[in-house]
Structure 1
Amino acid sequence: MGIEDLVNQGKEFLEQNKAKIEEVLGSDQAEDVSDNVLDAAADFVKKVAPDSIDAQVDGVRENIDKAVGND
């Protein structure tokens, strides 16, 4: 089985389970987990990157947060 076969199986899985995946991504639990992960990632980037990009990091974090969870 090659990479192309695996990619095709992944695509099929996503199509067959699209409604369930969207439901899970919109759940309270996904919101809590995503908030924790995004906060940790943003804090890390802010520690290692110049202060001048903090606002951009916050913007990216907020945009990603809007896509996952229910808040």
Structure 2
Amino acid sequence: MAIDDLSKKAKDFLGENADKVQEALKSEQAESISDKVLDGLAGVANKVTGGKHSDQIEDIKTKLDGQIGNE
């Protein structure tokens, strides 16, 4: 399957199921998973930067967390 075919199928699926996708993104399960992922990414970013940008990293993490899950 070509990348273009896969991309079109994904786009069609999202278009046809937009309400269900939004509902899933605002679920408790999505919140739990996103918290773990974002915490891990923030930890890596802080480690790589030696903690020099921890405030900015936390701000970004907070903004992203507000977009996914229910909290």
TM-score, structure 1 length as denominator?
A: 0.88
Query: Are 1:48 and 2:26 an aligned pair?
Result: no
C-alpha root-mean-square deviation of aligned residues, in Å?
A: 1.2
Residue deviations 1:24-45, cap 9 Å, x none? 1101111111111111110111
Counterpart Cα distance in 2 of 1:3 and 1:32: 31
Query: Are 1:24 and 2:24 an aligned pair?
Result: yes
Percent identity, please: 38
Counterpart Cα distance in 2 of 1:8 and 1:34: 26
Trace 1:8-19 onto structure 2 (pairs within 5 A). 8-19=8-19
After TM superposition, what 4+ stretches of structure 1 lie above 6 angstroms from structure 2? none
Please, which runs of 5 or more residues in structure 1 have no aligned partner?
A: none
Counterpart Cα distance in 1 of 2:51 and 2:33: 26
Please, which runs of 5 or more residues in structure 2 have no aligned partner?
A: none
Return the letter of the residue paired with 2:16: Q
Counterpart Cα distance in 2 of 1:17 and 1:37: 25
Return the letter of the residue paired with 1:39: D
TM-score, structure 2 length as denominator?
A: 0.88
What is the total number of aligned residue pairs between the two structures? 71
1:36 matched residue in structure 2? 36
Residue deviations 1:34-64, cap 9 Å, x none? 1111111101110111332111111111111
